[in-house]
Structure 1
Amino acid sequence: MADLIPFPATRPAPDKVAHVVSRSYEEYGRKERKALMKHNPFSFLHIIRPGFKFHREFSGARRFEMVRNRYLEFLEEGILIRDQEPAFYLYHTRSGADSAYGVFCAASTEDYRSNLIKRHEDTLLRREELFADYLEKVRFNAEPVLMAYPDQQNLEALFGEIMQEAPEYFFTTPDRVTHRLWVIRQQGRVAAIREAFRTMDSLYIADGHHRCASSDLLARRTETLPGGKEQDKSFRYFMAYLIPESQLRIHSFYRLLTTMNGLSKNELLVRLDHYFRIHDMGPAHFEPTEKHQFSMYLEGEFFALYLRRQPKASKDPLGRLDTQLLYENILKPVFGVSDPRNDPRVRYLHDRHGGAEMRQLIDRGACAVGFGMKPVTMEELKAVADAGQTMPPKSTFIEPKLPSGLTLYDFQNHPS
């Protein structure tokens, strides 16, 4: 049973929420970020990049301390407010024809340890340790772990009922995304949500594997302190955003190679002929239309690659993933890529907007060749996670992407 609980969030004052929330720091270009921070003193970016006011960058423990200071300043100035009662937070977002809803809650690190919360990606210990150090110092969690749960009719009906009511927040950001948020405190509704999640056998991490692992690492550290497990229960939870599986949108990544590994175009085609049936599709953009089919862009032309040896049905879900098949049949044997996560010759572009950029990079010589494939399905993701396996790097680009600063989990404001 999933131990998902309501929590009293720290969140923007209602009259400032549209100015506080931001996209992920990495999504901004340098000039755009600088202009935004210069002209918007309420932006959450000021908390996560606290050196801006001093016109310099800080790192390590000093930066963590200053993040904490900026956070406390936002509270003191009323830009952020602390809820006093635990709540679930239902959040709906719409961008063009795409929309999704889910609920912010606090999830248990013990559920992560016991594999009730399942993962499909590897994490790096150095990144886990760095983020655990960060959380321990700043004492709040601003980035939720995105997790998917099986669609459930009772929850869908309850959330549909709540979304007919007036929201706490209703605003649109400059990227034309509309946001609505409802605060759920009524005891009957809170109990119904908790009970619905208790019936679920598994939850699946969609995005935020390092955040989840780091939260667990911090909880383990705290438990080793005298009385730590009893005195600081807040570290045993982390902020999560739970979304129905049907609301999740999964995209794929293009794989680009910066060199041809000494092969000419014809030599590469001959090498690939061992693994694939190859159709020349010409200069028009081509995307795979079925599983185990790949696209390749090379010297101004697209090629359709059809795997000659279809993977047999087996108990190995990883072996049927197109990302794994591309690695086993192209990246490793043809280009000599043994470590796709760290090989500097491999670049990744997600296919949400990356098709034109992939073509431009290759046409101007920044990369030599690119490969595309159909996205991983939710069923494939779950099968890999259920088998205790992990996918190759950059196997999924998952939406919705959540804004920063909408809800924060403050360890010092934990309900227990």
Structure 2
Amino acid sequence: MAKILPFQGIRPTRDKVSLVSCRSFEDYSAVELAYLIDYNPFSFLHVLHPAYVNPQKVTSDKRFKMVAAKLKDFKKENILVQEDKPIFYLYQIQTRHHVFTGIIAGTTLEDYRSDVILKHEDTLEYRVELFKEYLDYGRFNTEPVLMMYPDQEHINHWIDQCKTTRPIYDFSTVDKQRHTLWRVEDDKDITWLCEQFEQVDRMYIADGHHRFASANLLQEEDPENLKGHNHSVMTYLISERNLKIYEYNRIIHDLNNYTKEEFLELLEQKFIIKNKEQQLWKPTQKMEFGMYLDGDFYSLKLRNTKRTNDILQQLDAQILYDEVLHPILGLDDLRNDARIDYIPGNESIVTIKEMVDDGEYEVGFMLYPTNVEEIKEVAENNLIMPPKSTYIEPKFMNGLLIYEI
């Protein structure tokens, strides 16, 4: 049974929410960051990276202390306010192509350890350690873990009813997204929601594995450091039907010393290859791959599909690695090899074409997206997907809600 917890969130005042909230720090170019930090005194970027001007001269512990101090400044200046009591939130993100609606709540480290909450991605030790240090100094998180749960019709109906009430926020951003937030403060609603999730056997981390792992490590190292409801993580709970799962496409800098002709000959041993020439082509089914090489698009269809009950061997990302990236292109460590980069599937394949045409990369591969059932099967079998198998939306705004620990 899953346990969810209301929390006493900290959030921007209604008049400043569009000025405070921001995308993840890594999403901005250096020019954008400089502009926002120089000209928007309310941006949460001031909290996230207060040492922006001279980051290389500031140690991580000092920077994290500055983050905590800047958050206190925002609270003292009434840019941020705290709820009077623990509550839930309903949050809707409307992009150009999709509408995502979910519940913001705390989920417990106990459920994470007891496999009520399951994961499908591996974590990097250094990233877990770094974010644990950030949590230890900063004592807050503002980017929830994206968690999916099996679709529940009664919860869907409740969400629809909540959306007829007046939200506390309803604003648009320069990337043409609309963000709407409702407070769920009625005790009856809070109790009812908790009861509904108690009937959910399993939930699945869709995005944010490192954040959960870091909170768990912090609590394990110092159990007395986090008390009461703070043995939990802020989570954006969303029905599995409401997720949008994209592939991660691959671009590689070189052909591992093969000529184009030699490379195509090696591929033909394993794939049926069709030259699509200038057609912007991408796969339409599993075990089919797109490729862009030397000005032409190609379709690659696996000649011999292996019958296997191993879910990992059925994943297109694993097949591409086993058949092409590792044996032909000589790529071993997909996380750390500098010869390969990744383009999320929500970007046009024109991006891949342009990057290859510019000469920095030799070849690009387009994959068919993984589906929800594959993610769940991997997680339920305690397995780990290949690196960069999925790019999942929605993405959360920083500074919209702050979860103190």
How does the TM-score come out when normalised to structure 2?
0.97
Q: Which amino acid aligns with 2:54?
A: R
How far the C-alpha of 1:279 sits from its partner, in A, is 0.9
Q: Which amino acid aligns with 1:310?
A: T
> What secondary structure is seen at the aligned counterpart in 2 of 1:107?
strand
Residue 288 of structure 1 corresponds to 283
Residue 359 of structure 2 corresponds to 365
Q: Is the 8 Å Cα contact of residues 88 and 104 (structure 1) preserved in structure 2? A: yes
Cα distance change, pair 135–234 in 1 and its aligned pair in 2 (3 A):
farther
> What secondary structure is seen at the aligned counterpart in 1 of 2:297?
strand
Would you say 1:266 and 2:261 are equivalent positions? Answer: yes
Alignment of 1:205-224 (within 5 A): 205-223=205-223
How far the C-alpha of 1:34 sits from its partner, in A, is 0.9
Q: Is the 8 Å Cα contact of residues 218 and 235 (structure 1) preserved in structure 2? A: no
Residue 317 of structure 2 corresponds to 323
How far the C-alpha of 1:234 sits from its partner, in A, is 4.3
Q: Is the 8 Å Cα contact of residues 141 and 410 (structure 1) preserved in structure 2? A: yes
CA displacement 1:121-152 (0-9 Å, x = unmatched): 10011211111111011111111100001110
Residue 404 of structure 2 corresponds to 410
Q: Is the 8 Å Cα contact of residues 139 and 410 (structure 1) preserved in structure 2? A: yes
Worse-matched range after superposition: 68-77 or 271-280? 271-280
How far the C-alpha of 1:289 sits from its partner, in A, is 0.8
Would you say 1:353 and 2:351 are equivalent positions? Answer: no
Runs of 5+ in structure 2 lacking a partner?
Answer: none
The 2-side partners of 1:128 and 1:236 are apart by 17
Q: Is the 8 Å Cα contact of residues 139 and 404 (structure 2) preserved in structure 1? A: yes
How far the C-alpha of 1:273 sits from its partner, in A, is 1.3
How far the C-alpha of 1:235 sits from its partner, in A, is 3.9
Residue 298 of structure 2 corresponds to 303
Would you say 1:341 and 2:335 are equivalent positions? Answer: yes
The 1-side partners of 2:268 and 2:176 are apart by 46
Runs of 5+ in structure 1 lacking a partner?
Answer: 412-416
> What secondary structure is seen at the aligned counterpart in 2 of 1:16?
helix
The 1-side partners of 2:287 and 2:159 are apart by 38
Question: 236, 249, 255: which is aligned to 1:254?
Answer: 249
How far the C-alpha of 1:108 sits from its partner, in A, is 0.4
Q: Which amino acid aligns with 2:276?
A: M
Q: Which amino acid aligns with 2:212?
A: C
Residue 37 of structure 2 corresponds to 37
The 2-side partners of 1:351 and 1:362 are apart by 16
The 2-side partners of 1:59 and 1:404 are apart by 23
Q: Is the 8 Å Cα contact of residues 378 and 385 (structure 2) preserved in structure 1? A: yes
Q: Which amino acid aligns with 1:46?
A: H
How far the C-alpha of 1:382 sits from its partner, in A, is 0.7
Q: Which amino acid aligns with 1:281?
A: K
Q: Is the 8 Å Cα contact of residues 88 and 104 (structure 2) preserved in structure 1? A: yes
RMSD between aligned residues:
1.2
The 1-side partners of 2:9 and 2:182 are apart by 12
Q: Which amino acid aligns with 1:172?
A: S
Residue 23 of structure 1 corresponds to 23
The 1-side partners of 2:126 and 2:368 are apart by 32
> What secondary structure is seen at the aligned counterpart in 2 of 1:367?
coil
Alignment of 1:17-416 (within 5 A): 17-52=17-52, 55-57=53-55, 58-223=58-223, 228=224, 232-314=227-309, 316-411=310-405
The 2-side partners of 1:257 and 1:180 are apart by 40
CA displacement 1:6-54 (0-9 Å, x = unmatched): 00101111111111000111111111111111111000000001124xx
The 1-side partners of 2:375 and 2:385 are apart by 8
Worse-matched range after superposition: 320-329 or 333-342? 333-342
Which consecutive aligned stretches of 4+ in structure 1 deviate over 6 angstroms post-superposition?
A: none
Q: Which amino acid aligns with 2:185?
A: R
The 1-side partners of 2:6 and 2:230 are apart by 15
Q: Which amino acid aligns with 1:105?
A: A
Q: Is the 8 Å Cα contact of residues 120 and 385 (structure 2) preserved in structure 1? A: yes
> What secondary structure is seen at the aligned counterpart in 2 of 1:15?
helix
> What secondary structure is seen at the aligned counterpart in 1 of 2:4?
coil
> What secondary structure is seen at the aligned counterpart in 1 of 2:51?
helix
How does the TM-score come out when normalised to structure 1?
0.95
The 1-side partners of 2:248 and 2:184 are apart by 37
Q: Is the 8 Å Cα contact of residues 215 and 235 (structure 1) preserved in structure 2? A: no
How far the C-alpha of 1:352 sits from its partner, in A, is 0.9
Q: Is the 8 Å Cα contact of residues 91 and 101 (structure 1) preserved in structure 2? A: yes
**What's the % identity of the aligned pairs?**
39
Q: Which amino acid aligns with 2:395?
A: K
Worse-matched range after superposition: 294-303 or 346-355? 346-355
CA displacement 1:271-304 (0-9 Å, x = unmatched): 0112111111112211001110001110001111
